[in-house]
């Protein structure tokens, strides 16, 4: 068996869990011994949560790409590492074996080197879902450059902010990207992002849509031309840079409760061990299986379960360029039939959307290859869980409901497919190494079962966030200051009579829209940029498909025309400032916002109104202008 640390029975899980708590260093030292190191660690773990300062495998040297590529060459070199399915069902798919992927990564690593990229440099990657995205990511890791992948749906302004924060020096992008019926001009967006930027030295552009692009002399170069230059130098070789266990592997920006996204930092060794361990155990991956994670590499799910987790395990990872509903709502099911997919890992929002199209699309495809189903990104409601289980899994496939976050690097709470029991709408039990607990508002530990509270983690795990880029204090403030000596997740949570965890959603001002994390403050900032807007407040409300929708209350100086056009303008502004994913679903114009005498917006009231639950708004007597509430209630959309 290739994964000696794969847990095959409930008993094995229980024993592993106990050992991970009682002897964490021995436990993780054992797991880590199955990886390729250039030098072994001196110490498995050093930590304190006060700073915070967490170090795993100190003194160890490695390169994650040797674990994802080189170590597989002799054994499974001719096995597919990446299978790529185009947006266009008519276009031929691509297969890259481990040998081929290794070749391409090494080759592109040499391109990066030729263009002056060095260890520690920040390289922004803004691409569509083509194999070159994975190649670019791995090529950075090969030479020790820090990648910062930005999801292709973010706007120029959002990219500009992230480039500035990371002081990025290079960008890898595409001319354009296909998404369903649309072609998105990525290079144009990058050009806009670069107006006024002083840190970017080179932009490498891969060809995909061959839409017209403006290539600026001295700055912009084509991927394919650069490959030719390294090709002429004969068989490419690019030794893997020796990285310290705690050197930065990547930065990934995510939203918080302030207006500014933060750069979550993951480091080489811990992240590698964690994504591999969780991949192999949660999905119970077996060699030869085809793993299809439908996320975009621009999010942590894609980093961990399209690229690093599967590849470090020698798995075959299916990468899909398109969307679930184009050309029709049978796309996922056709892909599963076409490649005999064994593991499907997707988001509740996709399931709910596909449910709405009826079973004809599902029944048109042979789904009998499926062994395991997975859900991620938001709470999965029971209805969606049962639909998924019955109609996609045909009642035979375990569903893993995987709770985790950008900051956790990999899955934290989940059943292990077919090994530990599932419970609909419950993430169930913590993985070995994860010590969750619930705390109340006053910071008291809530013991026992059938309880609820704020979800915290009381001990480090290898894949945890190390810092927020260039701003360690922000990391401390956000995650380690609410509760002393605990990592605070920002999620509310129930623990049932058997100790199963059920995550109920964010308790901070963070929204989860279609599994995408968006800060209310970020959306408010964007809305407030619009010339006619005086002030705004944004809250979430339950949305049948997206999980949460975005509801904006806007004080508007409406002298410029009709409400419909004004709403459109505000929506367009948000699209320009953040991206289409942050567009409000509803905009209500209000004469004022309900504030306390100290000027704090009472979001609780706004949330209730947006939810349509106006019968009991609680105590409104502390409001500066209680009369406002009735006006807002009446104007509800
Ligand atoms: C937030 C993290 C995890 C990768 C994708 C999202 C919510 C995530 C679940 C789940 C209930 C979930 C939480 C979490 N969430 N998975 N299985 N059940 N809620 O990563 O953008 O960092 O968002 O997503 O609220 O805090 P992210």
> What tens digit of pLDDT does each residue of 30-55 get?
999 999 999 999 999 999 999 999 99
Tell me the helix, strand and coil percentages in the chain, rounded to 5: 35, 25, 40
| pLDDT band of 82, cuts 50, 70, 90 | very high
403 lines ligand 1 (CB under 6 A): yes
What atom in ligand 1 is closest to the CA of residue 504? 11
HEC letters along 397-465: CCEEEEECCHHHCCCCECCCCCCCCCECCECECECCCCCEEEECCCCCEECCCCEEEEEEECCCCCCCC
Distance in angstroms (rounded) separating the CA atoms of residues 12 and 34:
18
HSE, CB side, 13 Å, CA atoms: give it for residue 127. 29
**Is pLDDT at 234 greater than 60 in this prediction?**
no
475 lines ligand 1 (CB under 6 A): no
Q: What is the pLDDT of residue 621?
A: 80
Residues 339 and 199 in one domain: yes
Residues 528 and 388 in one domain: no
Q: What is the pLDDT of residue 616?
A: 80
Over residues 570-584, the mean pLDDT reads 96
What residue's CA is closest to ligand 1, atom 10?
403
What atom in ligand 1 is closest to the CA of residue 515? 6
Q: What is the pLDDT of residue 233?
A: 66
296 lines ligand 1 (CB under 6 A): no
478: which 2 tokens?
């956000």
HEC letters along 185-230: CHHHHHHHHCCCCCCCCEEEEECCCCCCCCCCCCCEEEHHHHHHHH
* Domain assignment present for 137: yes
**Is pLDDT at 595 greater than 60 in this prediction?**
yes
- For residue 466, give the nearest of 179, 251, 320 by alpha carbon: 251
* Domain assignment present for 248: yes
Q: What is the pLDDT of residues 250-283, one digit of tens each?
A: 999 999 888 888 999 999 999 999 999 999 999 9
Beta carbons within 10 angstroms of residue 253's beta carbon: 24
| pLDDT band of 237, cuts 50, 70, 90 | confident
**Per-residue CA distances from 480 to 69, 444, 459, 489 (Å):** 36, 15, 12, 9
Q: Where are the beta strands (DSSP E) in 223-356?
A: 243-244, 248-254, 262-267, 290-293, 316-320, 343-346
* Domain assignment present for 437: no
* Domain assignment present for 541: yes
Q: What is the pLDDT of residues 337-373, one digit of tens each?
A: 999 999 999 999 999 999 999 999 999 999 999 999 9
406 lines ligand 1 (CB under 6 A): yes
Residues of the chain above pLDDT 90, percent: 92
Residues 392 and 531 in one domain: no
Over residues 172-201, the mean pLDDT reads 97
Q: What is the pLDDT of residue 466?
A: 98
Could you say which of 391, 408, 425 is where a domain stops?
Answer: 408
377: CA distance to ligand 1 center in Å? Answer: 4
589 lines ligand 1 (CB under 6 A): no
User: 3-class SS at 325?
Assistant: coil
Q: What is the pLDDT of residue 560?
A: 66
Residues 545 and 396 in one domain: no
Q: Radius of gyration over alpha carbons of the chain, in Å? A: 24
528: CA distance to ligand 1 center in Å? Answer: 28
Could you say which of 377, 408, 439 is where a domain stops?
Answer: 408
Domain count, the chain: 2
253: CA distance to ligand 1 center in Å? Answer: 15
Residues 404 and 520 in one domain: no
Q: What is the DSSP letter of 72?
A: G
484: which 2 tokens?
């002393």
* Domain assignment present for 502: no
Q: Which of 262, 274, 378 to mutate to test the pocket of ligand 1 (most atoms within 8 A of CB)?
A: 378
β-strand partners of 344:
292, 373
Averaged confidence pLDDT in the chain? 96
Residues 398 and 522 in one domain: no
282 lines ligand 1 (CB under 6 A): no
- Domain coverage including residue 587: 513-634
Backbone angles phi, psi at 79, to 5 degrees: -85, 145
**Is pLDDT at 232 greater than 80 in this prediction?**
no
* Domain assignment present for 333: yes
**Is pLDDT at 538 greater than 90 in this prediction?**
yes
- Distance between alpha carbon 434 and the CA centroid of its chain, in Å? 19
Distance in angstroms (rounded) separating the CA atoms of residues 64 and 140:
11
Distance in angstroms (rounded) separating the CA atoms of residues 514 and 18:
35
376: CA distance to ligand 1 center in Å? Answer: 7
Could you say which of 354, 373, 408 is where a domain stops?
Answer: 408
298 lines ligand 1 (CB under 6 A): no
What CATH code is carried by the domain that includes residue 608? 3.30.300.30
| pLDDT band of 623, cuts 50, 70, 90 | confident
Q: Which of 274, 404, 410 to mutate to test the pocket of ligand 1 (most atoms within 8 A of CB)?
A: 404
Over residues 489-514, the mean pLDDT reads 95
Q: What is the pLDDT of residue 625?
A: 85
**Is pLDDT at 235 greater than 90 in this prediction?**
no
Residues 217 and 350 in one domain: yes
* Domain assignment present for 505: no
Distance in angstroms (rounded) separating the CA atoms of residues 122 and 135:
16
Residues 74 and 194 in one domain: yes
Cα first-last separation, the chain = 58
**Is pLDDT at 197 greater than 60 in this prediction?**
yes
What is the DSSP secondary-structure string of 492-543? EEEE-TTS-EEEEEESSSEEEETTEEEEHHHHHHHHHTSTTEEEEEEEEEEE
31: CA distance to ligand 1 center in Å? Answer: 26
* Domain assignment present for 447: no
- For residue 49, give the nearest of 620, 460, 524 by alpha carbon: 460
37: CA distance to ligand 1 center in Å? Answer: 31
Q: What is the pLDDT of residue 351?
A: 97
What CATH code is carried by the domain that includes residue 384? 3.40.50.12780
**Is pLDDT at 1 greater than 80 in this prediction?**
no
């Amino acid at each position: 068996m290739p994964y000696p640390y794969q847990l095959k029975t409930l008993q094995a899980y229980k024993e592993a869990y106990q050992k991970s708590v009682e002897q964490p260093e021995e436990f993780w030292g054992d797991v880590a011994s199955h990886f390729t190191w250039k030098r072994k660690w001196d110490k498995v773990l050093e930590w304190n949560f006060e700073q915070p300062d967490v170090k795993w495998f100190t003194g160890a040297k490695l390169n994650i790409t040797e674990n994802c590529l080189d170590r597989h060459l002799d054994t499974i070199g001719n096995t597919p590492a990446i299978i790529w399915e185009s947006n266009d069902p008519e276009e031929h798919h691509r297969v890259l074996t481990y040998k081929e992927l290794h070749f391409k990564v090494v080759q592109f690593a040499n391109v990066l080197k030729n263009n002056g990229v060095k260890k520690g440099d920040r390289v922004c990657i803004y691409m569509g879902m083509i194999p070159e995205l994975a190649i670019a990511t791995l090529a950075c890791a090969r030479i020790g450059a820090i990648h910062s992948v930005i999801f292709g749906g973010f706007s120029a302004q959002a990219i500009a902010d992230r480039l500035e924060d990371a002081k990025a020096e290079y960008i890898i992008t595409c001319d354009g990207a296909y998404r369903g019926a649309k072609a998105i001009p990525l290079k144009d967006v990058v050009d806009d992002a670069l107006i006024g930027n002083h840190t970017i030295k080179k932009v490498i552009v891969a060809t995909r849509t061959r839409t017209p692009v403006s290539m600026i002399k001295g700055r912009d170069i084509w991927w394919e031309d650069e490959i030719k230059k390294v090709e002429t130098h004969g068989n490419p070789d690019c030794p893997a840079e020796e990285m310290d266990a705690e050197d930065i592997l990547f930065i990934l920006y995510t939203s918080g409760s302030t207006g500014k996204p933060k750069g979550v930092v993951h480091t080489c060794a811990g992240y590698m061990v964690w994504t591999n361990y969780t991949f192999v155990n949660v999905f119970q991956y077996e060699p030869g299986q085809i793993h299809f994670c439908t996320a975009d590499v621009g999010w942590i799910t894609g980093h961990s379960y399209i690229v690093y987790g599967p590849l470090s395990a020698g798995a075959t990872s299916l990468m899909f360029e398109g969307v679930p509903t184009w050309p029709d709502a049978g796309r996922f099911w056709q892909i599963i039939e076409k490649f005999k997919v064994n593991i499907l890992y997707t988001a509740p929002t996709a399931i709910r959307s596909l449910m709405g199209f009826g079973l004809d699309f599902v029944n048109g495809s042979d789904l009998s290859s499926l062994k395991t189903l997975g859900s991620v990104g938001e709470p999965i409601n029971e209805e969606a869980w049962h639909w998924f289980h019955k109609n996609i899994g045909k009642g035979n496939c375990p569903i893993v409901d995987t709770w985790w976050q950008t900051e956790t690097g990999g899955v934290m709470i989940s059943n292990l497919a077919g090994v530990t029991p599932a419970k609909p709408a419950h993430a169930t039990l913590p993985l070995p190494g994860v010590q969750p607990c619930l705390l109340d508002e006053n910071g008291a530990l809530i013991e026992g079962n059938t309880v609820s509270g704020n979800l915290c983690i009381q001990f480090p795990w290898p894949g945890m966030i190390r810092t927020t880029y260039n701003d360690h204090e922000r990391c401390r403030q956000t995650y380690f200051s609410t509760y002393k000596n605990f990592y605070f997740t920002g999620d509310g949570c129930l623990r049932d009579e058997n100790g199963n965890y059920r995550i109920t959603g964010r308790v901070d001002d963070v929204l989860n829209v279609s599994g995408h994390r968006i800060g209310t403050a970020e959306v408010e900032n964007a809305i407030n940029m619009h010339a006619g807007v005086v002030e705004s407040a944004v809250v979430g409300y339950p949305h049948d498909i997206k999980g949460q929708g975005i509801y904006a209350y806007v004080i508007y100086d409406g002298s410029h025309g009709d409400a419909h056009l004004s709403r459109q303008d505000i929506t367009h502004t948000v699209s320009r400032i953040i991206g289409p994913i942050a567009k409000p679903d509803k905009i209500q114009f209000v004469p004022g916002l309900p504030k306390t005498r100290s000027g704090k917006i009472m979001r609780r009231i706004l949330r209730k109104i947006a939810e349509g639950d106006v019968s009991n708004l609680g105590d409104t007597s502390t409001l500066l202008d209680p009369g406002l509430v009735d006006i807002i209630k009446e104007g509800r959309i």
